[in-house]
Amino acid sequence: MKLGIIGFPASGKTSLFNAVTGGAQPVGQYSNQPGQHLGIMTVPDARLWKLRDMYKPKSFKPAVVDCLDFTGLISGSGGGGKEIKGELLGKLREVDAIVQIVRAFESDDVPHVLESVDPLRDFGEIDSELLFADLAQTTTRVEKLRVQATKPTKTQEQDKKELATLEKVLALLEDGKPVRQFKPANEDEQKHVDAFQFLTDKEQVVVFNVGEGDLGPGGKGEELEAKHPGSVALCAKLEMEIGQLPEAERAVFLADMGIKEAASAKLARQAFAALGSIAFFTVGEDEVRAWTIQRGDTAVVAAGKIHTDLSKGFIRAEVFSYEELIAAGDEKAVKAAGKFRLEGKEYVVQDADIVHVRANTR
């Protein structure tokens, strides 16, 4: 999974990036290159740490998410921000989900390019930028196809079909609607759209970057999260500072500041939800590990994540749930309680399933 962090100049992108990836990129200076920071965020799934305590494995592997820190965006050339085109567009197309950070903190030390703090205005501006980028791309392609489809070439039939799809997409975008809302009539249409990796076809997680004083019960942070389901409110500056503390001190600091969950936990949860991703676990003395799959994936698909040999030679999956394990106390007790299941290829893996694949790998 790859997330791209975008937002206005000086909205706190790099601070958030550092906080969730443990990075130490300089903050407070306009970054010019698109996606120049690539970092890895560990998904702090508390259930996996509990499994580590139970199994005491030699190797421990939480799920990871790639994060890209982008340059500040804004329409036109004002304020040190960039329009989405060229290399920036290319890099942004590659991400699975967009994390849009919106400034909600007040600070005289950090000038806002539009000279006032207004989260919903900024959110609207960035969303329009994404839409304009898709619109520009679609328009260019449609204009080209309109000419090309009149010529009796080898690809004429294909061109006509693609044109028909893209004209529908164009109409949607001209109406100010994201490509996400496009309902493909068939697989071909889906393919035409997927090929573009449209920005407004991507899921988005909105992060409200609030001030230190806005955290905790009844604060602006809580209010924004409640008003905008699926969003995350946090203080990127503080999270970055916490991220730089030794691990043992972090929990105390978070509690002191009235922060229930670290930024990476919140962000990962919402990104997984937006993308329909879930985790399953493999456990043992050798290794405890989390794997990321899509909700609805079957046991044989999950096995393939671990190793292609395990999907090819799949015999069955031995499955119990994390909750069953915790309730029973240990694996033996799970078996004694009759909760140990043998599942076939078509079994739909559930979030927090503990899976052991039996396969013929010769």
Ligand X SMILES: Nc1nc2c(ncn2[C@@H]2O[C@H](COP(=O)(O)OP(=O)(O)OP(=O)(O)O)[C@@H](O)[C@H]2O)c(=O)[nH]1
Under rule CB under 6 A, residue 211 binds ligand X: yes
The only residue of 6, 9, 13, 259 in contact with Mg ion, by rule CB under 5 A: 13
Nearer to Mg ion, 14 or 264 (CB): 14
Under rule CB under 5 A, residue 31 binds Mg ion: yes
The only residue of 1, 27, 98, 271 in contact with ligand X, by rule CB under 6 A: 27
User: Among all chains, which residue has been given the structure tokens 């999907």?
Assistant: 311
Q: How far is the CB of 17 from ligand X (least distance, A)?
A: 7
**Contact, 84 vs 97, CB < 8 A?**
no
Under rule CB under 6 A, residue 235 binds ligand X: yes
Q: How far is the CB of 212 from ligand X (least distance, A)?
A: 7
The only residue of 6, 9, 11, 14 in contact with Mg ion, by rule CB under 5 A: 14
> Judging by DSSP bridges, how do beta strands 64-69 and 59-61 pair with one another?
unpaired
Residue 155 sits at φ, ψ, to 5 deg, of -95, 10
Displacement of CA 296 from its chain's centroid (Å): 18
Q: How far is the CB of 67 from ligand X (least distance, A)?
A: 13
Under rule CB under 5 A, residue 15 binds Mg ion: no
Stretch that binds ligand X, among 11-19, 123-131, 245-253, 298-306 (CB under 6 A): 11-19
The DSSP code for 252 is H
Under rule CB under 5 A, residue 277 binds Mg ion: no
CA-to-CA distance for 209 and 105, rounded, in angstroms?
Answer: 6
Stretch that binds ligand X, among 51-59, 103-111, 182-190, 223-231 (CB under 6 A): 103-111
Q: How far is the CB of 100 from ligand X (least distance, A)?
A: 11
Exposed / middle / buried, residue 323 (Cβ in 10 Å: 0-12, 13-18, 19+): exposed
Nearer to ligand X, 7 or 304 (CB): 7
Nearer to ligand X, 11 or 270 (CB): 11
**Contact, 101 vs 209, CB < 8 A?**
yes
Exposed / middle / buried, residue 80 (Cβ in 10 Å: 0-12, 13-18, 19+): middle
User: Among all chains, which residue has been given the structure tokens 């069955």?
Assistant: 316
Q: How many residues bind Mg ion (CB under 5 A)?
A: 3
Q: Which residue is nearest to ligand X (CB)?
A: 72
Q: How far is the CB of 11 from Mg ion (least distance, A)?
A: 9
Residue closest to 316 by CA, chosen among 298, 299, 338, 331: 299
The DSSP code for 101 is E
The only residue of 24, 28, 56, 78 in contact with ligand X, by rule CB under 6 A: 28
Displacement of CA 149 from its chain's centroid (Å): 37
CA-to-CA distance for 277 and 275, rounded, in angstroms?
Answer: 5
Under rule CB under 5 A, residue 200 binds Mg ion: no
**Contact, 282 vs 310, CB < 8 A?**
no
CA-to-CA distance for 110 and 359, rounded, in angstroms?
Answer: 58
Under rule CB under 6 A, residue 114 binds ligand X: no
Nearer to ligand X, 69 or 297 (CB): 69
Under rule CB under 6 A, residue 21 binds ligand X: no
Under rule CB under 5 A, residue 270 binds Mg ion: no
The only residue of 110, 117, 142, 301 in contact with ligand X, by rule CB under 6 A: 110
Instruction: Provide DSSP, 46-64.
Output: HHHHHHHHHH--SEEE--E
Q: List contacts with ligand X (CB under 6 A).
A: 7, 9-15, 27-31, 72, 105, 107, 110, 209, 211, 235-237
